[in-house]
Amino acid sequence: MRRALLAVLAISTCLWGASASRVHIILIQGFQFQPENLTVQAGDTVEWKNADIVPHTVTSDDKTFHSGLIQPNHSWKLVARTPGSYSYSCTPHPNMKGMLVVGRIPPERR
């Protein structure tokens, strides 16, 4: 009886953990960020994967984040901690633009 209760507790802890923070993938392909606009929650991880044959960067206009050159077939991860709207672009190709919105964690997920 007691063992069953512990098992239930363990499972619910795992489920809560899975919904508390997520990993979002943005593909860099054809000189575009896909998706171009992404909204995540604070604490989530965003991973940009470069599927092109040239290096790109992920650089926010306000310089909050800058990936450095992401080589082809490499990726760069950011843990989005501070809520806000961040427009970003690629330094070598300024016409490549994206928007990352970091929302606050809703009370039910705290």
Residues contributing to the site for Cu ion (CB under 5 A): 56, 90, 92-93, 96
Rounded distance between C-alpha atoms, residue 17 and residue 11, angstroms: 10
What is the dihedral sign for C-alpha 59, 63, 65, 68? positive
Instruction: State the nearest-atom distance from the C-beta of 13 to Cu ion, in Å.
Output: 41
Minimum distance from CB of 99 to Cu ion (Å)?
16
For Cu ion, the closer CB: 90 or 102: 90
Residue 83 or 92: the one with the smaller Cβ distance to Cu ion is 92
CA–CA distance from 64 to each of 40, 72, 79 (Å)? 16, 23, 12
* Tokens of residue 35, six digits: 């998706």
Q: Which is nearer to Cu ion, 26 or 41 (CB)?
A: 26
Peptide bond into 35 cis (omega under 30): yes
Q: How far is the CB of 72 from Cu ion (least distance, A)?
A: 11
